[in-house]
Structure 1
């Protein structure tokens, strides 16, 4: 696995390309903040896409039953391996960390 920091100039195009080639993925979102501690906001559910909007300075995680917006991100890290992106960590200007975990859905048992 390789964790790398994305430059701000890469954010929009990186996540546009990633969303196009994601395939079937599930997402779980954790928020880490000094005031609230470590909280899971969204348990595993189908992921629709990830995007960054430079105009509004927002990072969006779109899932089947939840839309998560991160306002004014200052750093984004991705954990990639041969199978693709496993984790995206977005840090807001107030220090709040948003950990976006991705996985392939579990296969149904064969009959």
Structure 2
């Protein structure tokens, strides 16, 4: 079931993503980028979350994946310069959370956290 949540106020971005990193570090993440010039592309698929952050000084959102084990020894980073708005929990189910980041040029980055991957690693 899809739920549309209101836009996350800019003054909450940094704290929101710091909390997301603490709560979901290691969860598998899928990053999709939608833009008029490139269409819909998958930048990363089910790679463990290293961090997600917003840097107000540089006005940049970034998400890092990998760097946790031999399968993904390097942290890969996806950044959105000058994000215009962020919608939180555009998809929230028992096993997934997602948020959308919109850039100044109208592009959209969709970050989906696969929460079941956290418990699978803890029990596997």
Q: Fold-level match, TM-score > 0.5?
A: yes
Contact persistence 1:27–1:44 (CA under 8 A): yes
Structure 1 segments unaligned to the other structure (5+ residues)? none
The 4+ residue runs of structure 1 with deviation greater than 3 A are 80-85
- Cross-structure match for 2:100: 89
Question: How many residues are treated as equivalent by the alignment?
Answer: 109
Q: How far apart are 1:107 and its partner, in Å?
A: 2.9
Aligned 1:17-28 pairs, distance under 5 A:
17-28=19-30
In structure 2, the CA distance between the partners of 1:66 and 1:81, relative to structure 1 (3 Å rule), is: same
Give CA-to-partner distance per residue, 1:22-53, whole Å, 9 cap, x none: 25311111110011110111111000111100
**TM-score calculated relative to the size of structure 2:** 0.77
- Cross-structure match for 1:67: 77
* SS of aligned partner of 1:12: helix
**TM-score calculated relative to the size of structure 1:** 0.85
Q: Distance in 2 between matches of 1:24 and 1:67?
A: 15
Q: Distance in 1 between matches of 2:79 and 2:50?
A: 14
Q: Distance in 1 between matches of 2:103 and 2:30?
A: 18
Q: Distance in 1 between matches of 2:18 and 2:112?
A: 17
Q: How far apart are 1:82 and its partner, in Å?
A: 7.3
Structure 2 segments unaligned to the other structure (5+ residues)? 67-74
Matched, 1:107 2:120: yes
Contact persistence 2:92–2:98 (CA under 8 A): no
Matched, 1:76 2:78: no
